[in-house]
Each structure stands twice: as structure tokens, then as C-alpha cells.
């Protein structure tokens, strides 16, 4: 079961490398999760601004950092991983004008990579949770039912 999700993430990675064009690359934070962002104090109440902290910084397609957001807020995802993940990718795509399928592919890669890392550093329950979500995405996103 878990081997199939690693294979699928490698397949998605090959696809992202094949369809991405370096000239369209942007500087990405590299690990743009909710723990790496701070709200900036502003004199105008209605204007909220945020800044990334702890950047890894690399050149990639914009969907790369958006993929990180696909694996965040796990407590929401465990309820219905496919529906929530699909809706999240659509929402992120609408906000950023980035194609949702590329966001889903990077999200899948991020969920698998982070899940494996968490297991390696002794956080097996959290890691398995992300791998279980990726397993659900593996089949649900292929059907594109939402």
C-alpha cells in the first residue's frame, strides 16, 4: 500500500519536471506552511500583510509552495481527504491563478515527503496520517469526481 504512494509521488514529480518551464519559475519560500508566516503590523486596520520566515528559497513553479498548503491543517483533511483536498486546490488556484491539478500534484508530493520525514524523526502517528491522506488522494484525485 505505502509503496504505491511513493511510486505515485515520483510519477507526479516526473510530470512536474516535464511540464514546468524554468523561464516561468519564481523564487519560492520552499516550506511555506502556516508555522513559517508572520503577520506584519500595519497602521491601516483593513490591510493585512504577511511575511514568510525561515526561507529555504529556490526557483520552482508557483504550485510548489501551494502544494505545501495542501498538506497543512491535517485535522480538516482526515474528515474527507479527497473532497477537502480537491476543494482546497480549487480555492488556491482561484486565489493565485495557478492550475489546480499542478497544486494537487505538488500537494501529493509534499504529503508523502513530509509523512516519510515525520516517521524518520520519530513522529510515526503524524507521518502515517499524512501517508494515509496521500493514499486516499491517490485514488480520489484520479477520479476527479468533485
Q: What's the CA gap between 108 and 67, in Å, rounded?
A: 7
Question: Which residue in this structure is represented by grid cell 513559517?
Answer: 36
What pLDDT is recorded for position 30?
Answer: 65
pLDDT in tens, 13-24: 898 888 877 767
Ranking 8-12, 39-43, 102-106 by mean pLDDT, the lowest is 39-43
pTM, rounded to two decimals: 0.80
Among residues 96, 97, 94, 113, the alpha carbon closest in space to that of 105 is found at: 113
Per-domain residue ranges of the chain: 2-26+61-143
H helices present in 20-80, as ranges: 63-70, 74-77
Confidence check: pLDDT of 146 > 50? no
Amino acid at each position: 500500500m505505502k509503496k504505491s504512494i511513493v511510486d505515485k509521488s515520483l510519477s507526479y514529480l516526473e510530470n512536474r519536471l516535464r511540464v514546468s518551464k524554468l523561464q516561468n519559475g519564481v523564487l519560492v519560500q520552499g516550506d511555506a506552511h502556516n508555522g513559517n508566516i508572520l503577520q506584519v503590523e500595519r497602521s491601516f486596520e483593513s490591510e493585512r500583510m504577511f511575511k514568510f520566515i525561515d526561507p529555504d528559497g529556490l526557483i520552482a513553479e508557483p504550485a510548489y509552495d501551494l502544494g505545501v498548503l495542501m498538506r497543512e491543517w491535517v485535522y480538516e483533511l482526515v474528515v474527507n481527504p479527497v473532497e477537502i483536498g480537491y476543494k482546497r486546490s480549487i480555492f488556491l488556484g482561484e486565489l493565485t491563478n495557478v492550475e489546480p491539478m499542478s497544486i494537487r500534484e505538488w500537494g501529493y508530493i509534499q504529503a508523502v515527503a513530509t509523512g516519510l520525514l515525520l516517521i524518520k524523526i520519530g513522529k510515526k502517528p503524524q507521518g502515517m496520517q499524512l501517508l494515509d491522506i496521500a493514499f486516499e488522494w491517490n485514488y480520489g484525485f484520479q477520479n476527479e469526481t468533485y
